[in-house]
Amino acid sequence: MTYETLAREKAGALIEKGHARILAVESSCDETAMAVVEDGRRLIAGVIASQIDMHALYGGVVPEIASRMHVEALDPLLDQTLGQAGLTMDGVDAVAVTYGPGLVGALLTGVAWAKAFAYARALPLVAVNHIEGHVSANYIAHPDLRPPFVCLVASGGHSHIVRVDDYGAYTLLGGTTDDAAGEAFDKVARVLDIPYPGGPLLDKLAEEGNDRAYAFPKIHTPGPYDFSFSGLKTAVINQAHHLRQQGEAINAADWAASFRRAVVDSLAEKTVRACLDTGLRRVALAGGVASNRLLRREIERLGKKAGLETFMPPAALCTDNAAMIGSAAFYRLMKGEIAPLSLNAVPSLGLMGD
Ligand code: KG4
Ligand code: ZN
């Protein structure tokens, strides 16, 4: 029998049982991650090999280094993940992998590894969209959460407000017209001499600052659920340079707090408005920026005021991880969506598969 026939038969049996233990692989950027997830909801094991220390030397992700480090990390991660799960390879029912969006070389390492594993073990292969993965982190953190709900996906490369109509079915309500929220955090952090990755450290610093200390320009956006951070980012960076040229000291904590306030107000207000306008009562956060402390507090506060139920994964499931990929993969697998061995990386993949 060919691999395709075996994989299809195995997938059919899993669909019939409504049960699958999935080994998931994530390598789209600067973390190599692997996890075992059961039935889309239960995280059995999850391991992450972070490359942050290496990229910090260069002030940002160096794609070629990222790819090489993924290649080195993948095999040892399998041993660690299975060890943590208390499983052998026989305990794995299917393999899932992020195939986009992300850095092409980085994605390819995970895709090639997952294809080889699937072929060698005659297991179904499931291709997962990284952004859908971020949304799905909520299914692991909140076992009772079911679509429909509104989700803000804010990461280093993406900022979207989506209506999650069903598992794997989305309506895009709005998004950034320029920089992603995480990108803006990272760029402003650099001006404050905060090392890469700037977002989390800027957030920490902002906790000690006064968010009314500096006045930054108001954000203008074309649509009610759209974002724009480029103008704010440029104004903030220019203002910092200007003050420095004049020999004025910048209070970094106040600066970070004032900038964070401007970004978070925009993200939180628009997300809650989108939820109310769609008539849905549940709002969720996803992506690296969803670990931002102020954003979490604001969504809780505004959500409560509007009578909404709020959902957000713990910080470790907001930033890149493989658990979220294993969750998204389960619902794809249950619909019979398995990938061929010709699967390729799609670096600019959109949430709607465009
Ligand atoms: O989702 P993620 O891990 O990777 C991408 O898919 O991009 O997101 C990483 C982004 C980076 O820009 C990082 O600075 C930002 O999320 N980030 C944060 C925080 N934690 C991570 N931004 C603001 N506050 C945080 N606490
Ligand atoms: Zn991500």
Per-domain residue ranges for the chain? 3-137+318-334, 146-312
Ligand 1 midpoint to CA 320 (Å): 8
Closest CA to 35 of 106, 98, 104: 98
Q: Which amino acid residue places its CA nearest to atom 14 of ligand 1?
A: 199
Ligand 1: which atom is nearest the Cα of residue 320? 3
pLDDT at 1: 87
- Average pLDDT value for residue range 65-84: 97
Count of other CB atoms within 10 angstroms of residue 3: 16
Confidence of residue 79 (pLDDT cuts 50, 70, 90): very high
User: How confident is residue 222, by pLDDT bands cut at 50, 70 and 90?
Assistant: confident
What are the residues whose beta carbon lies below 5 Å from ligand 2 (ion)?
A: 155, 320
Q: pLDDT class for 264, splitting at 50, 70, 90?
A: very high
List pLDDT tens digits, range 180-219.
999 999 999 999 999 888 999 999 999 999 999 999 888 8
Model pLDDT, residue 120: 98
Burial of 262 (0-12, 13-18, 19+ CB in 10 A): buried
pLDDT tens, position by position, 12-32: 999 999 999 999 999 999 999
Residue 317 confidence (pLDDT) = 98
Q: Which two tokens stand for residue 158?
A: 């993406």
Return d(Cα 157, Cα 221) in angstroms, integer.
18
Encoded tokens for 351? 């949430």
Q: Which tokens in the block code for residue 248?
A: 């004025």
**Cα 246 to middle of ligand 2, angstroms:** 39
Question: Is the pLDDT at 354 greater than 80, yes or no?
Answer: no
Q: Which residues, judged by CB distance below 6 Å to any ligand atom, belong to the binding site of ligand 1?
A: 29, 155-157, 182-183, 185-186, 197-200, 203, 287-289, 291-292, 319-320
Q: Which CATH class is domain 3-137+318-334?
A: alpha beta
Higher pLDDT, 218 or 238: 238
With 0.95 as the threshold, say if the pTM is over it. Answer: yes
d(CA 11, ligand 2 centre) in Å: 27
pLDDT of residue 196: 84
- What mean pLDDT comes out for the span 100-124? 98
The atom number, within ligand 1, closest to the CA of 157 reads 7
Of the pLDDT bands very low, low, confident and very high (cuts 50, 70, 90), residue 328 is: very high
Same fold for the domain at 3-137+318-334 and the one at 146-312?
A: yes
- Rounded to whole angstroms, the Cα distance separating 139 from 134 reads 10
In 147-250, DSSP assigns E strands to 149-154, 159-166, 169-175
Which CATH number does the domain 146-312 belong to among 1.20.1050.10, 3.40.50.300, 3.30.420.40, 3.40.50.2300? 3.30.420.40
pLDDT given at position 82: 98
CA of 184 to the centre of ligand 1 (A): 10
CB atoms within 10 A of CB 90: 7
pLDDT digits (tens, 9 = 90+) for 279-311: 999 999 999 999 999 999 999 999 999 999 999
Residue 157: left if φ>0, alpha if ψ -120 to 50, beta else—which one?
alpha
Q: Cα–Cα distance between 6 and 159 in angstroms, integer?
A: 39
Given this model, what pLDDT does residue 342 score? 98
